[in-house]
Structure formats: structure tokens, C-alpha cells
Chain A
């Protein structure tokens, strides 16, 4: 997977290393600015409000 990518990059090894770093940084930026903010609302630990999952204000049905 990364072997062919390394061979695909042009130039000698310092150039390849630099380009790899740029690619990795690009992936990180893409994740931080777009991917992570998009998937964060789907994460169960990001819900912090009071909601009636089962519609009831009846205290007897509340889970322990």
C-alpha cells in the first residue's frame, strides 16, 4: 500500500520524504477541517442534552 506510493513519488529520497510529509499533512488538514466536524454529531458521546427518547415525562419509566 505505502510501498507503491513511495515508488510513485518522484525524485531522490529526501524529495520523496518531503512529498510524503506534505501528503500526510494534507490528510490531517482535510480530517480536522472537514471529515471530523462532519462525523462528530454522529458520535454517541457528543450528545449532552436532556431529551425524551421515549416520549414520557413520567418518572416511573426512567431507567435506573
Chain B
């Protein structure tokens, strides 16, 4: 009888311990990852901004012409190492101060550091599809408010040499196996691209991995860093998330 009491008691204590550990994990996942990732990403943004402005402007870089309407020279990024931050994404709809690093790659570790660029898709400003992924919840949640984006909203990608301004066109909600959303011509796999698009993918619904919320934007303008970005593209729209 005494042995049985001991066994039952120990099992009970183990189960309580397990429950507490699961609650701890939930707290870590939902709260602590945001705390650390927000801090790290803010530091990364500062480092990128320093690197962009202080290093010498890349002269004589391969200048491929942008879309016909935007003749500003685009310094194409080539061979960015996996996991390296190469740009900053600014989205006025998400608030005037919103800025997140863009890194090469979309694995778990990279997405904890900011917005990830699908390897093999176009780089910012290029003809094709500049496809990105970001967390909707946890790890700093860079794409938390992706569902608040409206057609016409500006998305500014800042690189060492350029500002690329994309404008939101439309969104779709798909299952995670819809790789056609990151095709060079979004949703038209196999088609030859003639325009520069940007795709953003994030989890949907929030706190789930069942589906993906996907936003397609089209390149509007390219500016050189030397020329600067007109303030009108950074105007926070009415009803912004802030």
C-alpha cells in the first residue's frame, strides 16, 4: 500500500513538472523569442545603416537598367552568402519606425533574425520575383501585420546602393506547398518574367502553420542612395498599425 502511494505520488509530481515545463515553453515561444529577436534585429538594423552610409559608395558596379519607367541605376546584389543581412525592409503601413533586416535564406535560424529571402529568387529590384518570408508571430514577428496591407501600400527595400519601392497589388491565402507564389512570375510557374515583383509569405492564421498569407507587390521606382528616397514614399497611411 505504501509502495503504491509512493508510485502514484511520483507519477503525479512528474506530470505536474511536465505541465509546468510545457507552460514555460509556451511563455518562451510567445514572449521571450520576441524580446530577444526584437533586440537583435534592432542592433542588426543599426549595423546595416552604418555599413550602408559609411562604406564607400560602390562605383562602377554592374548597373542593369531597371524597368523602363525607372531609369535609376540598380546595383545588382550577387552571391550574397547564406544567412547574411543585405537589406532593410521599411513598410510605412506597419509604422514610421518599422525597419527589419533582410537576410539571405529562409531556414529557422535566419528567420529568427529578420525577413528571409528565398534563395534562388530575384534580388531586390531585379526582373523576376524577390520572394521573402517572415514570422507572423514570435521571433520579433516582422510580418505580424501582413493582413493589414492594402493595395497601393508602399514597401521600401533599402540596400547598400539603392532604395526599391514596391507597391502592394493583391494577396492570396494558400497551403504551404503552393511554391508557385514565389515563381518568377507569381502564380505563373514557367512563365518568363518581364516585370519586377516582390512576394511576402507569412503564417496564416496567426499562431498556426496551416496556411500561408501571401502578398504580391510590384516594383514602382528605384532610387540611388546618393539621390535619396522621396519622403512621400515613407508617409504613414491613415489607419496604419503604428
Contacts and interface: CB of A to CB of B under 8 A. Distances in A.
Contact of A53 (B109, B177, B209): B177
A43 B183 CA distance: 27
A2 B182 CA distance: 53
B175 interface: yes
Interface in B116-168: 116, 118, 131, 133-136, 138
Interface string A17-56: 0000000000010011000100111011111111111101
B28 A36 contact: yes
B208 to A, nearest CB: 7
A43 B10 CA distance: 28
Given A1-B13, A2-B13, A51 B28 contact: no
A14 interface: no
A44 B72 CA distance: 43
Nearest to B136: A48
Query: Mostly helix, strand, loop or mixed at chain B's interface?
Result: mixed
B29 A47 contact: no
Interface residues of B, number: 43
Interface residues of A, number: 27
A12 B33 CA distance: 38
A59 interface: yes
Nearest to A28: B24
Interface string B86-104: 0000000000000000000
B50 interface: no
Given A44-B209, A57-B189, A49 B106 contact: yes
A50 B25 contact: no
Contact of A50 (B9, B111, B179): B179
Query: Mostly helix, strand, loop or mixed at chain A's interface?
Result: loop
Contacts of A2: 13
A49 B176 contact: yes
A11 to B, nearest CB: 23
Contacts of B218: none
Given A49-B133, A52-B177, 8 more contacts: A1-B14, A36-B25, A41-B108, A46-B209, A49-B106, A50-B174, A50-B178, A50-B214
26 contacts: A1-B9, A1-B10, A2-B13, A31-B28, A32-B32, A36-B25, A44-B209, A45-B207, A45-B208, A45-B209, A46-B209, A47-B209, A48-B133, A48-B134, A48-B135, A48-B201, A48-B202, A48-B209, A48-B212, A50-B131, A50-B181, A51-B177, A52-B179, A53-B177, A62-B174, A62-B178
Interface of A: 1-2, 28, 31-32, 36, 39-41, 43-54, 56-57, 59, 62-64
